Structure formats: structure tokens, C-alpha cells
């Protein structure tokens, strides 16, 4: 099933007296349960592409279809609900709430989500959050706030938070950029579990060869255009 479709997407940004083409006619399809790595140099359009998939930004022209629905036909309220219920984000800047501790930051999206998540008992919610905390290796940091954590630890909180709602799509901008090799392996194992057991489609922007090898589909961006779009053998799951 096609989960994400781009039809001739253009995105232009003003920069002084000129317009910059961040995306220049991108057409693509991402199937449900895929793991996609998007590579390319800085400024190639990777982050803009992720923002478009996540409905954080809107295209200048072209059509985006998510879950079979054209995003251009959705109201702001519908787009906000779609993001909260179906899409998880891992940002390079982490975007953690400084007044909340590790547990509370991970719990926050569950409290913001729809009634389907709120039907969980407090015990069920706590068990899931603790599972994520353990999976990202932060069991001894539960009550720490972001300013008491290293960059790599904040990254792991951001990853756990993004997975809290068991999203149908997880978007990650350089998910392993601040992690050592052992932690990266743990995080990729967690993401593989989400992909295989919770049907989460993974879309990564990355320069990390470990993430590229982890993916079952490779896309390469250059000057706002998609120049490579191909599947690859999934040796990691053999």
C-alpha cells in the first residue's frame, strides 16, 4: 500500500531578492512498512523533504498524498490531528521540553494524542514508556531534565518520545548523529522492532552508512531533485 505519495513537488523559499528551489519537481512513492534512507549533501533538500512528509511545511506547487488523502484538501485541524496520531519526528535539535524530565518528555505526546491513546490505563502507559526508556538505555536517567543530559542522551530521549504513540510514519533527521556505535546499534534494533512489530514506516535523512545499510530503500537528493530511488537487498534482516 502506498503510504506517502509526492506528485511533482516544488518548494521555493525567499532569500533576499531571490528565490531558492529547495525541492524541484520531486515525485516519489513510499510503501507502507518500508525503511527509507535519504542521503545527499547539505542543502540538497533532505530536510525539506522530511518536513513536507510531516506536514510541517506546505509545497509551493504539486500534490502530497498521505494515507490515501490529499493533504491540500485538509484543514489545519485535520493536519494537526494527523501529525499527532500518525507521525513521529526525531529532530537534530531534539526539541525537548526543558521543564520536563526524561519520563515526562516521552509521555507528553501520549497526553496530546487522541482518545484511542487515552483509553490506556496509567499502568499500561507507564509500562510502554518504561519499555522505551530501557530500550534507549536511559533507565538511570528517568528523573533528569534535558539540561542534565549529554547530547547523545537527549537524542535518545527524542527517539523514545517519537516512538511513544507507535506512529505509522517515523521521520528522523540524522537519527544517529550524536550516538556512539554501540548505542546506534541499540537504536537501530529498536527501530527495526517498531518497523516489524508495530508496522511503523521509517524515513531517515542520514549521512551514516550504518543507517543506509539498515534501510530497504535508498533515495539520494541533489539540488532539490531526487536522483536515485531504488530498493536494496536487506542483508541485515537475513
Q: Which three cell numbers stand for residue 5?
A: 505519495
Given this model, what pLDDT does residue 236 score?
Answer: 46
Tell me which residue range forms the domain holding 199: 2-237
Pairing of strands 69-70, 61-66: antiparallel
- The beta strands (E) that lie in 167-216 are given as 169-173, 201-205
Report the distance separating Cα 15 and Cα 65, nearest Å. Answer: 28
Q: Per-residue confidence of the chain (238 residues) as pLDDT tens digits?
A: 789 999 999 999 888 888 889 999 999 999 999 999 999 888 899 999 999 999 999 999 999 999 999 998 899 989 988 888 899 998 878 889 999 999 999 999 888 765 555 567 889 999 999 999 999 999 999 999 999 999 899 999 999 999 999 999 999 988 888 788 888 888 888 899 999 999 999 999 988 888 888 899 999 999 999 998 888 655 444 3
pTM: 0.88
Given this model, what pLDDT does residue 114 score?
Answer: 58
Query: Which residue has cell 494515507?
Result: 67
The enclosing domain of 141 has a CATH number of: 3.40.50.300
* Structural domains in the chain (count): 1
| Polymer length of the chain | 238
Report the distance separating Cα 138 and Cα 154, nearest Å. Answer: 10
Amino acid at each position: 500500500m502506498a503510504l506517502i505519495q509526492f506528485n511533482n513537488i516544488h518548494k521555493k523559499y525567499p532569500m533576499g531578492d531571490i528565490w531558492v528551489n529547495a525541492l524541484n519537481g520531486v515525485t516519489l512513492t513510499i510503501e507502507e512498512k518500508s525503511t527509507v534512507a535519504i542521503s545527499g549533501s547539505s542543502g540538497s533538500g533532505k530536510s525539506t523533504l522530511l518536513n513536507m512528509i510531516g506536514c510541517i511545511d506546505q509545497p509551493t506547487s504539486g500534490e502530497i498524498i498521505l494515507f490515501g488523502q490529499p493533504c491540500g484538501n485538509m484543514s489545519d485541524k485535520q493536519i494537526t490531528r494527523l501529525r499527532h496520531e500518525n507521525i513521529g519526528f526525531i529532530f537534530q535539535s531534539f526539541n525537548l521540553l526543558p521543564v520536563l524530565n526524561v519520563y515526562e518528555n516521552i509521555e507528553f505526546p501520549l497526553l496530546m494524542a487522541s482518545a484511542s491513546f487515552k483509553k490506556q490505563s496509567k499502568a499500561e502507559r507507564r509500562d510502554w514508556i518504561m519499555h522505551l526508556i530501557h530500550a534507549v538505555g536511559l533507565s538511570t536517567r528517568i528523573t533528569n531534565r534535558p539540561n542534565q543530559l549529554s547530547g547523545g542522551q537527549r537524542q535518545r530521549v527524542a527517539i523514545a518520545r517519537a516512538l511513544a504513540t507507535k506512529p505509522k510514519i517515523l521521520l528522523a533527521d540524522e537519527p544517529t548523529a550524536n550516538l556512539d556505535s554501540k548505542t546506534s546499534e541499540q537504536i537501530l534494533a529498536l527501530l527495526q522492532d517498531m518497523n516489524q512489530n508495530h508496522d511503523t514506516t521509517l524515513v531517515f535523512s542520514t549521512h551514516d552508512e550504518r543507517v543506509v545499510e539498515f534501510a530497504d530503500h535508498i533515495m539520494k537528493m541533489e539540488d532539490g531533485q531526487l536522483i536515485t530511488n531504488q530498493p536494496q537487498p536487506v542483508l541485515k534482516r537475513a
